[in-house]
Amino acid sequence: MAKSPYRPFTPKPEQMALMPETSGNTINGMGEEEFRRASHIYWQDPDTIEHGKLQKWFYTQDPDNPVIARAREERAEVLDIEIPPISGEPLQQSAEDWSRQLAAYAATRELELFGIAALKPEWTYEGETLDYRWIIMLGVAHDYEQMKTAPEAPAGAEVVRQYGRASKACKDITTWIRQRGWDAVPHAGPMAGALLMVPPALECGFGELGKHGSIINRDYGSSFRLAAVLTNVPLVPRRDKANYHVDDFCSRCQVCANACPPEAIGSEKVVVRGKSKWYVNFDKCIPFFNEHFGCGICIVVCPWSKPGRGSRIVEQLKRRAQRQKVQQWKK
């Protein structure tokens, strides 16, 4: 196993004293064979979740760190921007026209990934409902040079900055829809609220799920954040082609698992709420995450996250698949 300067990791006793009796893996449904919707676990109102004390503790760590404080101030300016109410008669036009105009507007905003999917009930947490028909997914890329400092403060600050950028893009799109007489609501992290964002992002073809539990995109690897806008405006799905054979790549790669200080990333898939998938051990990850500005090591060490690398990997994987086909024909 590769050496990590952050190993061995022993969590601070004051943090572990806040760890609830219920394992986060149990809440997440690890080992459950039957499908059920996900339960709230983190980035929620802390008074409503088992790990709420841990979530609060995260914000007590190095609160005066100047780079984090500056990034939080920048994001606060975005969060203060008011979204106008719905105005005028609802514009009536075809779903195709709406989608085309929306995509053209989104292309003028600060975001890197854009997609549209019909909202599914299973994309909300247990006990939640969202009364919207469509979800517009957005992705904003990190500055890789900043992320390379993970798990130190500049990487944590970059994540905060990108959440701010994602929030601005969401608010712009929400405003654009409301000005045309239709309801829309923005949804940007880090708070999870009612919505799971990874499944709709996968549906929009933003990428495929990697061993480290994050989406891998061909152009940005895992170095990006998600946001969404919910609306009832008539739309048509808009999906990028995914299938870069990430699953195959991850099954032969151990880079993130070796680099993760608390060894939270499993080398085999496990069944989670009825589905076999790569899984990150919540109980191991969260103490390190909390003590290290949100960590991010697994995102940045992933070869796909290195700028320009993803498209080369895709080509390599294509050639490999072709060679395998030829070998099969010869048999």
Of 44, 55, 33, 32, residue with least CA distance to 128: 44
Q: Is 260 in the site for ligand SF4 (CB under 6 A)?
A: yes
Binding flag, residue 270, ligand SF4 (CB under 6 A) = no
Q: How far is CA 92 from CA 86, 135, 231, in A?
A: 15, 19, 15
Q: Which of 46, 53, 64, 36 is nearest to 122 (CA)?
A: 36
The answer to the question of residue 30 lying near ligand SF4 (CB under 6 A) is no
- Establish if 159 lies at the interface with ligand SF4 (CB under 6 A): no
Segment interacting with ligand SF4 (CB under 6 A) among 100-108, 131-139, 192-200, 261-269: 261-269
Cβ atoms of residues 232 and 134 within 8 Å:
yes
The single residue among 211, 218, 225, 238 that binds ligand SF4, judged by CB under 6 A, is 211
Q: Which of 49, 136, 280, 314 binds ligand SF4 (CB under 6 A)?
A: 280
Structure tokens at 292: 């290290």
Residue (28 or 99) nearer to ligand SF4, CB: 28
Instruction: Give the burial class of 249: count Cβ atoms within 10 A of its Cβ; 0-12 exposed, 13-18 middle, 19 or more buried.
Output: buried
288 lies in the binding site for ligand SF4 (CB under 6 A): yes
Contact criterion met (CB below 8 Å) for 313 and 321: no
Question: Which window, 25-33, 45-53, 100-108, 296-304, contacts ligand SF4 (CB under 6 A)?
Answer: 296-304
Closest CB 267 distance from ligand SF4, rounded Å: 9
CB 243 within 8 A of CB 233: no
Q: Where are the beta strands (DSSP E) in the chain?
A: 113-118, 134-141, 184-188, 208-209, 215-216, 224-231, 270-272, 275-277
242 binds ligand SF4 (CB under 6 A): no
- Give 167 or 217: the residue with its C-beta nearer to ligand SF4: 217
Q: Which residue has the tokens 């990697």?
A: 210
Q: Which residue, 58 or 105, is less far from ligand SF4 as judged by CB?
A: 58
147 part of the interface to ligand SF4, by CB under 6 A: no
Q: Is 272 in the site for ligand SF4 (CB under 6 A)?
A: no
DSSP state of 41: -
Nearer to ligand SF4, 16 or 79 (CB): 16
Give the integer Cα–Cα distance in Å for 111 and 225. 10
- Is residue 235 a contact residue for ligand SF4 (CB under 6 A)? no
Of the candidate residues 49, 177, 227, 302, the single one contacting ligand SF4 (CB under 6 A):
302
Peptide bond into 8 cis (omega under 30): yes
Site string for ligand SF4, 171-210 (x = CB under 6 A): ---------------------------------------x
What does the binding site for ligand SF4 look like in residue numbers (CB under 6 A)?
A: 210-212, 249-250, 253, 255-256, 260, 262, 264-265, 280, 285, 288-289, 295, 297-298, 302-304
